[in-house]
A and B are shown apart, each in its own frame.
Chain A
Amino acid sequence: MTDAEDRALLERIAKRDRLAFETFFGAHGTDVYRFVRDQVRDDGLAEELTSDVMVEVWRGAGRFAGRSRVRTWVFGIAHHKAIDALRRTRVRTIPLDELADQPSAAAGPETEALQAADRRQLEAALASLSAEHRAVLELTYVGGFSQKEIAEIVGCPAATVKTRAFYAKGRLRDALGKAELPR
């Protein structure tokens, strides 16, 4: 969905158009859920937070200033909610060896069985990173946000984003315990 389409939906949401809200939810709900879930690492809490983010969109649609892309705005809200929740619940980083025997959260259908071993490793490695590092990895490689946009979302200087992305990748590689990332 393009930013122009997002903006059009947001305008309709500001006029209390529930269908527009559903469409918006359909387009961004999963991304927001995944992003906050990666931060808080708790399915139930992630659902709650996603709901909160979307309610905030519903309430604040009319106040969206349009200075950034709609997605950047939504992810900014999501990041704030996740950080608040982390402060409240103090979700800890799980050491790698504890994760070794845990089932993968991303256990996919049978067709992905071959990749399951790699996926489990990746899951464990991600769990050992800090929430900030996971956020920057997700926003850069999955969300496709620019350095400036990530800075806006996570509320830090653009230079910090660059450094964080660099070290996050380094940490992930260390955690995977390989010289190279799984290909």
Chain B
Amino acid sequence: MKHDLAELLPFYLNGTLEAADRARVEAELATCPECSAELGDLRALAENLRARAASMQQPQMLLASTFAQLTPEPTLATRLRTAWWSAPARYATAAVLVASVSAGAVAAWQFREAADRDARFGQSNAVAYVTRSSAPHAAADELARNMPAGKSAPRTVGAAASIAQSHRLARTATLSLIVRDAEASRTRAADVTAALGGVVTALTDEGSVSPGDVHEVHLTIEVAAARLDDALDRLAQLGAVQRREVDAEDLDASLVDQDARLRNLRREEGALRELMDKRGSVDEILTVEQKLSDVRGGIEELDAQYQHDLHRVATSTITLTLTEDHARAAPPRPGPTARIDGAWQSGVRALADTVVALLSLLAWSVAFSPVLLGAAGLAYLAKRSLGRLRPTSS
């Protein structure tokens, strides 16, 4: 095969070759068995690399730690600094005094507010972090699989997870919402699910055919068990909540029992295999073989149930119903505290903006003071000379 064509094969395989090159490669492939073999080779390589890729997952808590790094909105202090130092007024020392006094007062106030807000934000972040770090789907699965029955979860896992793990609850939830636009909310719900690392496993959209019909969408969502509450909170924001229920089934006793039975069966299987290796009569061998097959069947059945139960512990199912109703879907009015808080915040923002504007104006007038003073001087001189001229002319 020609070297330049061989170099094109990887891109022929991934379907990104331009038409002319594709045609050249195809013509060559049609006549050259060596080239087809090479392509087969590449295909195997691609499959292997993709299978390897599929088994590599990013750590779940990465999103939380990335969120923590996102730039916060600029604080008043930053805005003041920017407005102040970028203005020509940096040369006017007199104004600095005035500015620092006023900015100092406001900034101190703002700092206190920012500290309060940071404390609040930090707290909520910390909560999110714990939820996420204790929630990774694969990790929870893995943990559940590796954890011998009756033992408590390792210390490294958050307290919440260790409680959930020691109780091993299978949690399911039902959430019914009245929404303004079922279609849009469905997309939003899928977004929320994806963001939480979950999947939508079933979807029924009963669209309205005639005007009287109710547009209803049913979704079945699976999320990592420890993210259930987080998921419910976020989904609940999509509309007015009609019903929110969480059920929990304690599978711990059953899992411990299954685990013990599995171990016994596996021990029995091992013993039977040893017996098989020792030579005996045909009858004996047949009996042992029959017994072994029964035990094997039992193990498989029990193991399937065991894995299924572990999966139910590791993931929670949410049944979400979105009902479209324009009239009833009005977003809830914020409570009095939220409204007072909102008014307070906008008041503070307005005050801050005014201070920034005033300081900028002051800075500009100080910077332009030579011009203004010059103009005033000229006007004064002009007025004086006019005053002197008037008596002589009269």
Binding site for B on A (CB under 8 A): 18-19, 21-23, 25-27, 29-30, 32-34, 37, 43, 47, 50-51, 54-55, 58-59, 105-106, 108, 112, 115, 118-119, 122-123, 137-138, 140-142, 144-147, 149, 162-163, 165-166, 169, 172-173, 180-183
**Assembly CA distance A123 to B48 (angstroms):** 10
Q: Which applies to chain B's interface (DSSP): helix, strand, loop or mixed?
A: helix
Whether the pair A54, B66 counts as a contact (CB closer than 8 A) is yes
**Residue of A whose beta carbon sits closest to that of B51:** A115
Which residue of chain A lies nearest to B50 when distances are taken between CB atoms in the complex? A142
- CB of B50 within 8 A of CB of A22, answer no
**Does chain A have a CB within 8 A of B45?**
yes
Complex CA–CA separation, A162 to B48 (angstroms): 21
Q: Closest approach, in angstroms, between the C-beta of B384 and any C-beta of chain A?
A: 57
Asked if B46 CB lies within 8 Å of chain A CBs, one says yes
Contact A27 B58 (CB under 8 A): no
Cα A89 to Cα B195 in complex, Å, equals 33
- In the complex, the answer to whether A55 meets B52 with C-beta atoms within 8 Å is no
A34 to B17, CA, bound (A): 25
Q: Which residues of B contact A169 (CB under 8 A)?
A: 10, 42, 45
Question: Of A50, A59, A140, A146, which contacts B62 at CB under 8 A?
Answer: A50
Interface residues of B (CB under 8 A from A): 6-8, 10-11, 13-17, 41-42, 44-46, 48-53, 55-59, 62-63, 65-67, 69-71, 191-192, 194-195, 197
Partner of B48, one of A29, A34, A118, A140: A118
- A166: chain B residues at CB < 8 Å are 6-7, 10
| C-alpha gap A137/B66 in the complex (Å) | 28
The residues of A that contact B41 with a CB separation of less than 8 Å are: 173, 180-181
Is the CB–CB distance between A122 and B48 below 8 Å? Answer: yes
Q: Kindly list chain B residues whose C-beta atoms are within 8 Å of the C-beta of A27.
A: 194
A-B contact pairs, 15 of them (CB 8 A): A19-B192, A19-B195, A33-B59, A34-B56, A37-B56, A55-B66, A59-B71, A119-B51, A122-B49, A122-B52, A138-B53, A140-B11, A141-B46, A147-B16, A181-B45
